[in-house]
Amino acid sequence: MIIQPYQPETDNIPYPLLMLADPDIRRIDEYLANGRLFLGYQQSNDQAVAAAIVNASESTLEITNIATDPSLQGRGYGKQMVAFIVGFARQHGYATLQVGTGNSSLDQLGFYQKCGFRISGIIPDFFIHDDPPIFENGIRCLDMVLLTQSISRLSD
Ligand SMILES: CC(C)(COP(=O)(O)OP(=O)(O)OC[C@H]1O[C@@H](n2cnc3c(N)ncnc32)[C@H](O)[C@@H]1OP(=O)(O)O)[C@@H](O)C(=O)NCCC(=O)NCCS
């Protein structure tokens, strides 16, 4: 997979892909307006097969959306996207890469830890007002689990 920053002249924004990670299209647009979109392409195909949005806050870069085409999940593309973002964060001098997910998102918690993140905090009741409530794996999504990894400098 080749990963490159979104270029408005040549790329489409892959909303179906981004909506796998976040069904709220208005929130996706907010993240896009203030962040960077990265797209992964297979050489043989001009449709993006993976996508991620990152947003910066001071010295922290946050992954606010990441998704792999369902037919291509489990092949390492998500991990490759995270590795690309780590490189981007290092190149731009961010100290920390962060991601947040729900307490019920067991698949994502597994994926992020495989990608080098450690659980670094919980925001209790972050999702408590979601209506209708979200259930995954038979667990109600209530709390935001924050995961971070330190970005080492090139000279370290
Ligand atoms: C989460 C997601 C981006 C992962 O992408 P992917 O391309 O399938 O992941 P990869 O194939 O790169 O997996 C990387 C590693 O994570 C592991 N992994 C993936 N899903 C996992 C799970 N459910 N439990 C444990 N480990 C998991 C893989 O086994 C692999 O481990 P390895 O490095 O030891 O081989 C993808 O499943 C997805 O698009 N999900 C829907 C959108 C979404 O939920 N986004 C996150 C929003 S918080």
Residue nearest to atom 20 of ligand 1 (CA): 111
What residues have CB less than 8 Å from 102, skipping those under 6 apart?
108, 127, 134, 136, 141, 142, 143, 144, 145
Structure confidence at residue 153 (pLDDT): 74
Cβ contact 120:96 at 8 Å: no
Residue nearest to atom 22 of ligand 1 (CA): 107
Provide Rg for the chain, Cα atoms. 15
78: Cβ below 6 Å to ligand 1?
A: yes
pLDDT in tens, the chain (156 residues): 999 999 999 999 999 999 999 989 999 999 999 999 999 999 866 899 999 999 999 999 999 999 999 999 999 999 999 999 999 999 999 999 999 999 999 999 999 999 999 999 999 999 999 999 999 999 999 999 999 999 987 655
The pick from 65, 79, 103, 119 for probing ligand 1's pocket by mutation, whose C-beta has the most ligand atoms within 8 angstroms, reads 79
Please name the CATH architecture into which domain 2-150 falls.
3-Layer(aba) Sandwich (3.40)
Structure confidence at residue 74 (pLDDT): 97
